[in-house]
Structure 1
């Protein structure tokens, strides 16, 4: 039964590990929830630098020590 469920990127796994919902992050960062969902699904999807900066800033404000490089490669 392994492998069942949704595909997740490093970013998506981070959200799951800490119980952060996409809607909470969307409200805190100002990034559309669909954009957050897209980048949480696959490592092939990367946000624009503007949206990535908003996401990282919101996570840092919430007390998480994260950087762009933790989730996405340049």
Structure 2
């Protein structure tokens, strides 16, 4: 039921596949809703190093092996 009809980034598709909602990522990362919303829906939006680190720390609770390259071409 996640991402109905929306274009999703690799990050968005990853959280959808694992039935994680954006609000969980907001809470666990300490980032704002608009930041997370942009990063899961807008492929032109790239995170800062600090933002990327917070997202990866939160997602590593689920998969300790993820890397930034899994989501962004940086």
> What TM-score does the superposition give when structure 2 sets the normalisation length?
0.86
Larger Rg: 1
**Does residue 45 in structure 1 map to residue 30 in structure 2?**
no
Q: Which 5+ residue runs of structure 2 have no aligned equivalent? A: none
Calculate the aligned-residue CA RMSD, in Å.
Answer: 1.3
Aligned position for 2:33: 33
Aligned residue pairs total 70
Q: Which 5+ residue runs of structure 1 have no aligned equivalent? A: none
> What TM-score does the superposition give when structure 1 sets the normalisation length?
0.86
**Structure 1, residues 52-74: CA drift from partner, whole Å, max 9, x if none?**
100001111x2312111110011
